[in-house]
Chains A and B, each alone.
Chain A
Amino acid sequence: MSAANKTITFISRRAPYSTEHAKACLDMVLAAAVFDQQVHYLFMDDGVYQLLAGQRPENIHNKNLGAALEALPLYGVDSILVEAQSLQERNLTADQLLQTGFRTCSRDELRNLIKASDQVFTL
């Protein structure tokens, strides 16, 4: 049985570690990718903090979410998007972020992406 192929956009909007939202969103992305759905993984608002390079959460007893995000291409998730305005508002530049092959996008691009998606999940 094959699941109908859909375009699903996941919007991750929260910082890692303080809540389960970021991890839950990653789990949903991976699950969708395993079922061969067309997945877009968008980071906006505090979600962009998940992409900071050099995370060392071992001392707060968490698994390294950044390291997990770096493995996304191995799972066939290659559309990883970051909203440009969320980076600017937090004084972040692309060189401070993980090397996951993500693309920085304007809001117009993202609006079109959302229009073209069958389902959009925010977490």
Chain B
Amino acid sequence: MNAATLHTVNKAGTPPALLHSCLRMSSSGDAILLLQDGVYLVGSPVLEQAIDSGRDVFVLQSDMEARGLVMNPQQRMRLVDYTGFVELSCQYSKTISWF
């Protein structure tokens, strides 16, 4: 099992305060999963910085599609379905929910 942490983020916001809190408490090697209104963070500069600083970013596909958002091919995030969500939860040693 991966010793790192999975962080779920379910809100966006301008400025994206919840994502900022998550990033302050997360470390390189951790993963961030955007779900619910957190999917609006796709494409935000803060999220790009998070990827640059060694976080893996995942997006829950059904929440993204529900809101009419599409992933730009240049974006370095990975789409996951609910099975992928469960796999991530198992793969990381703990999960922190930012809500």
On A, residues with C-beta under 8 Å from B are: 11, 13, 44-45, 83, 85, 107, 110-111, 114-115, 117-120, 122
Task: Compute the total of residue contacts between A and B using a CB distance below 8 Å.
Answer: 35
Query: Which of chain A's residues have a CB closer than 8 A to the CB of B27?
Result: 111, 114-115
Total count of chain B residues near the partner, CB < 8 A: 13
**Pick the contact of B99 from A114, A117, A122 — CB < 8 Å?**
A122
6 interchain pairs, CB-CB under 8 A: A11-B96, A45-B17, A111-B26, A111-B27, A114-B27, A115-B5
Interface of chain B residues 67 through 99 with chain A (CB within 8 A):
94, 96-99
Contact A45 B21 (CB under 8 A): yes
Which residue on B lies nearest to A114, using beta carbons?
A: B25
In whole Å, how far is B20's beta carbon from the nearest beta carbon of chain A? 9
